[in-house]
Amino acid sequence: MDRPFVIGNWKMNLSLSKSAALARAMAEEKPPERATVVLCPSFPFIAAVAETVEGTHIKVGAQNAAAEEKGAYTGEVSAGMLKELGCHYVIIGHSERRQHAGENNEMIKRKLTLANHYGLVPILCVGEKMEERQTGQWENVIAHQLTVAEGLPLAANFLIVAYEPVWAIGSGQTVSSDDARLAARTIRALLLELLGATVSQKQCAVIYGGSVTAANVKMFVGQDLMDGVLVGASSIDAHEFLGIINALNK
Ligand code: PEP
């Protein structure tokens, strides 16, 4: 992929003023256009962040979307609403939502379908737990999680699959470069089966997430490796996040 994705998942970490300041810092730095940079703030601050980065090539994404299109779903935010707010991307099925909000494949498939329907690029998170890796089940786990993409009518849209081993998130542990290469190859092969050759090659990207920093990002991205990264902790520090973007543009 010519333009690696560098996607920041700010989680529930930043206040309004800190979100705006981080977006401003990113916009002022004008990261190189050879990377596709996406910022994913908390729901209430999406509009402020979208306004701050308007006119730059930085895009905005959401961290989640409802599994329903509209109606009596108190507290939910729909894909259509996110589109109206200026989002281009949405994270779907993050392991923290699978763990804390009980999201299962059936809900994730509905979220994925709605995101795609509203023209948001879904960033579908998949990944195994430590015991699943230790017992050699990681491929099966990912294959099962990826079935939600089967037959997704992508039309002109794009799908990003984020391989995020649960044990690597926020732990300081990462996969090795060889494991990243193997995971990228495995996921691309599964996407080929699920979506066919043209779509899987032209409209899908596979990225890595889990304790990415400016110092280690080059281990995961490149030829035969991943098409970019999904970044948690390192994305809420402008200097570190810009360091990741710049490392991929050397
Ligand atoms: C994440 O939660 O998507 C993530 C990759 O977090 P971290 O970079 O902090 O491991």
**Pair 229, 5: CB distance under 8 Å:** yes
**Pair 190, 235: CB distance under 8 Å:** no
How many angstroms separate the Cα of 81 from the Cα of each of 25, 47, 125, 130, 146? 26, 11, 21, 36, 26
Atom of ligand 1 nearest to the CA of 230: 5
pTM listed for this prediction: 0.97
List per-residue pLDDT tens for the chain, 250 residues long.
679 999 999 999 999 999 999 999 999 998 878 899 999 999 999 999 999 999 999 999 999 999 999 999 999 999 999 999 999 999 999 999 999 999 999 999 999 999 999 999 999 999 999 999 999 999 999 999 999 999 999 988 999 999 999 999 999 999 999 999 999 999 999 999 999 999 999 999 999 999 999 999 999 999 999 999 999 999 999 999 999 999 998 7
Q: How far is the CA of 75 from the centre of ligand 1 (A)?
A: 25
Q: Is 9 labelled a binding residue? A: yes
* pLDDT of the residue at 31: 81
**152 is in which domain, residue-wise?**
5-248
> What is the count of structural domains for the chain?
1
6 lines ligand 1 (CB under 6 A): no
* pLDDT of the residue at 30: 84
Q: Which of 53, 8, 49 is nearest to 27 (CA)?
A: 53
* pLDDT of the residue at 32: 78
Instruction: Check which CATH number belongs to the domain holding 183 and give it.
Output: 3.20.20.70
* pLDDT of the residue at 155: 85
230 lines ligand 1 (CB under 6 A): yes
* pLDDT of the residue at 156: 84
Let me know if 94 is a catalytic residue. yes
